[in-house]
């Protein structure tokens, strides 16, 4: 597969592969994802050590992948959004949803940290990691280290893509 083929696939990702294609607009999709991920975190916290956690974790991972791919495809899109403010709000909501998707994973892996925690603490931890603030709770097992490392890497990449898109729009506006 060549770089050109990857770029072409990324350009068409949102239109042909993303679950957002089933929604009339991005806003309702992101709100639905927000509610669904919060529900998944609550379910994962309630059903500890069960197959339900696997399903919640897979849904969370699928959203993270979809969000990264969809927002990466924005970097290849040329043109203006319907509304720049709307695009900014939806970009930030998508970023927030990625943090909530990691909350689901932290709730599932709560036993892999220095102290057990539930949903509210996992939300704080995810936001603290996403903003590089850090958190006093430390991972004690490999899966927790992997998820934290993945969140840091994905968050930095995600922010770089959003910044690239917004700077490109600002540059077009000046011309």
Best CA proximity match to 29, nearest among 47, 14, 46: 14
Burial 14-51, CB ≥16 within 10 A → b, else e:
beeebebeeeeebeebbeebbebbbebbebbbeeeeee
Higher pLDDT, 83 or 35: 35
Higher pLDDT, 40 or 84: 40
CA pair distance 44, 56, nearest whole angstrom: 7
pTM of the model as a whole: 0.88
**Sequence-ordered alpha helix ranges (H) in the chain:** 3-16, 26-46, 51-76, 84-108, 119-130, 142-174
Asked whether residue 66 carries a pLDDT value surpassing 60, the answer given is yes
Structural domain containing residue 157: 3-174
- The answer for residues whose C-beta is within 8 angstroms of residue 19's C-beta and 6 or more apart is 29, 66
Please write the tens of the pLDDT for every residue from 148-166.
999 999 999 988 888 887 7
CA pair distance 87, 97, nearest whole angstrom: 15
Asked whether residue 139 carries a pLDDT value surpassing 70, the answer given is yes
Asked whether residue 175 carries a pLDDT value surpassing 90, the answer given is no
Q: How many domains does the chain have?
A: 1
């Amino acid at each position: 597969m060549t770089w050109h083929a990857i770029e072409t696939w990324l350009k068409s990702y949102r239109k042909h592969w993303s679950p957002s294609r089933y929604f009339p607009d991005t806003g309702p999709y992101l709100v639905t994802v927000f509610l669904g991920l919060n529900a998944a975190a609550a379910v994962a916290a309630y059903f500890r050590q069960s197959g339900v956690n696997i399903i919640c974790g897979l849904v969370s991972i699928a959203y993270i992948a979809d969000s990264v791919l969809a927002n990466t495809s924005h970097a290849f899109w040329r043109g203006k959004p319907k509304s720049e403010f709307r695009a900014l709000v939806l970009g930030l909501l998508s970023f927030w949803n990625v943090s909530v998707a990691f909350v689901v994973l932290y709730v599932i892996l709560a036993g892999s940290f220095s102290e057990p925690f539930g949903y509210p603490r996992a939300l704080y931890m995810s936001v603290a990691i996403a903003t590089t603030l850090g958190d006093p709770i430390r991972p004690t097992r490999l899966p927790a280290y992997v998820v934290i490392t993945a969140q840091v890497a994905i968050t930095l990449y995600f922010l770089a893509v959003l910044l690239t898109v917004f700077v490109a729009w600002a540059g077009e506006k000046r011309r």
